[in-house]
Structure 1
């Protein structure tokens, strides 16, 4: 008799998990912690035309390209979504995402509401969207200043844009108010677990139940 623990895992299709927020609300920190805690999910590495920050690595955080290269990729329809943000382009390459989903692996996206709307048009059944809100406007500004990644002028621009970005919260499936990272991570993991268990994503479930009914 076989051990129940040896039963094969039920096959499922991967999902696209989108995290969006105004800059400084914590989505990048949450993304990194989720990736460090869950081997079933991988980061979608976007292409961008902006300059690389000192702490970033090409091919890990982003793929840094010039504007001409990026525009050529748009013309060849190589992006699932793309947008222009603060005078720079950002885009999600189509091929690696589709490969991951077909192999049952999940893909994490750190994109804004514009990119999320484009993904909805191209893959709504695979999409799970989460909007991260700061606990207060004052806290958001404090985070932008203390992370020391942008000039005061850019911080001011990000704060000016935050209200517009946050107005799109109701377009998302879930909302997390990021009062502290530990609690927010638990909530995010709960969302991911529930979405993975949805019947329609577990395409191997029908065969599994059939085998049970046949006494196998």
Structure 2
């Protein structure tokens, strides 16, 4: 069983001063790589020495050292995201240089450490895998079907009324699919069944 991943409940920031350089980590939940890149543009400070960043959204990830020596900023930020069990998030660490060189190891610790501390302090929310079901039910069963399925965390995305009944498309936590299918069969006395839809 894979460990539960979390995303951030809301944007969060954390700053540290390390040998006269100021580091500001800004993290936020993101649904798409495009949103993550837009956030990087939005929070990057043109007057800062470096704006280094990383994001992970499912299988998609990217990082950028923004002029720091290769591998000393973006990758440690990404490792902080992964090390904290975070997904669907972006972290930008902005550095204002204070006149003391940190060296490669110092940079890795500064960027990775500031990002990790920001994520550690931020409020999280679990990522729940969702599934979609399609089903048909009779008009007379619709109210009961909706009431009983809502108890399982079902969200009704679409309903279309046809001559012989109602077609429904629903979204629900993946872990409750079998329970929902059993409930649909039970309420309809075997006349209806839920089928999992792709995407």
Q: Which one has a bigger Cα radius of gyration?
A: 2
Q: Which has the higher strand share?
A: 2
Instruction: Answer yes or no: same fold by TM over 0.5.
Output: no
Q: TM-score range by the shorter chain?
A: under 0.3
**Which gives a bigger RCO, structure 1 or 2 (Cα 8 Å, sep 6+)?**
1
What is the TM-score with the length of structure 2 in the denominator?
0.25
